[in-house]
Amino acid sequence: MRYISTRNENISVSPSQAIIQGISRDGGLFVPLNIPKISLDELKNLNYKDLAFEIMSKFFTDFEERELRECIKKAYDDKFDTELIAPLVKLGEDYCLELYHGPTLAFKDMALSILPYLLKQSLKINGENKEVVILTATSGDTGKAALEGFAKVDGIKIIVFFPEEGVSKIQKLQMRTQEGENTYVVGINGNFDDAQGGVKAVFNDKEFVEFLNKNNYILSSANSINIGRLIPQVVYYFYSYLLLVRDNQIKLGDKINFVVPTGNFGNILAAYYAKKMGLPINKLICASNENKVLTDFFDTGIYDKRRELILTSSPSMDILISSNLERLLYHLDEEREKLTALCMEQLSEMGFYKIDKDILGDFYGGYSSEEEVADTIKKVYKRFNYLLDTHTAVAYNVSEKYKKEYKEEDIKTIIISTASPYKFPASVASSIGLDIRDRDEFELIDILSKETNMAIPKTIKNLKEKKNIHNHNCNKEDMRKMIEKFLKVGGNND
């Protein structure tokens, strides 16, 4: 398997090199030259770890079997609170795939638990002995999951930038209290797009990258722009489908729908890869909050970021520049990288681009208003005694809208549940009618637990007593200075 840049097919690297680099030197994203096919029949009885090996081995072809299996074994161990890793819960005629049973209670754990091991092995494969600097922007969940995964890993430092006012209080606390001398956390005076744009600008600053290289540092990323983050996410789409088969809910080969709440487009792109590998997916339903840039794109073929970012109760989706959409454009482009490069240039210079929406037939886009999110949490709790977080509520509501429009009675639907409701206690508590006035996050967590008889996860319960370690803050323009300060290079090493 070779990986090429979405903007220049002449840039071709091995899987391990793509994992180390994170982003291509031309600013493009690495994509597999071909998406491999896989036989469902061979997978139907595998547990999560063995299934992960069968899928990842098709993409990470320069890893020896023993090496890859060891990475998987270390990633999906008792840090997850269930042996299933990703349980499937039936809600009426629908199913929720719970991806929040890892250490940070968010779906990002599914990939960020393994990325540190993939990266360490990639460095060995390439005989690289420089220190790796993981540079990551987060809209809430990636940051903590990446910090948790890379903390105390020898030979790696991790720097996370997040929007100071654009994450929940629990998300912010999770990052600010992260232990590990190799971890650094910075709040940005701006939104997630400012943080993500600043990180991309650092990667694309060839002079700065070379300067770090001379100081024995390699830049890499833990965002879903890194192919080592994206490929592990493909696994749980196959896994949830096969769980339905084993439970006799569907027959092998039956088509199903997936509903994915997404802002940066990485999670649903992994589902698209699963479909291209042979998973029988009828429709990929892209669920957005009021920042509905993706919904408008699938409706019209026009991607237009020229709008005000709205801060919502689902902050991990408060995004106007969906980085992974670039990979989809590449795969849909019959002339390969020509369309992608043109679209990215137009987005950068004019703030929008347009394509023929007829090539987007695998997808349906929908969005949920803040009122609909609150109503959905309340309705699902009353009907099923099941608590959704705000992001999953976005997906559930969009799924209902899709079903009203298309009435596909014979097709099962899996809703991707991306976070524990305890990460967003104020929004969830108010949605089910609890009084949140004059109560802090931890009081609300206790009230939620008593009301729902749902145990508080240990990582949340212990958070209150943790010391605030990281108090750094900066403007987008000063991100490079912060990096220099942490790495003690240049003029900012005091």
AA letter at 383: R
User: What is the enclosing helix (H) or strand (E) of 417?
Assistant: strand 412-417
3-state secondary structure (DSSP) of residue 164: coil
CA 337 to chain centre: 24
3-state secondary structure (DSSP) of residue 465: helix
How many residues are there in the chain? 494
CB atoms within 10 A of CB 348: 12
Q: How far is 223 from 230, CA to CA, in rounded Å?
A: 9
Long-range pairs, 302-311, Cβ under 8 A, ≥24: 302/352, 302/353, 302/354, 303/343, 303/347, 303/352, 303/353, 303/354, 303/355, 304/351, 304/352, 305/193, 305/347, 305/351, 305/352, 306/351, 306/352, 309/191, 309/192, 309/193, 311/165, 311/166, 311/191
CB atoms within 10 A of CB 442: 17
End-to-end CA distance of the chain: 44
Q: How far is 474 from 485, CA to CA, in rounded Å?
A: 12
Q: How far is 27 from 7, CA to CA, in rounded Å?
A: 8
CB 323 within 8 A of CB 305: no
Catalytic positions = 108
What DSSP assignment string belongs to 66-100?
HHHHHHHHHHSSTTSSSTTSS-EEEETTEEEEE--
Token readout for 396 is 């559930």
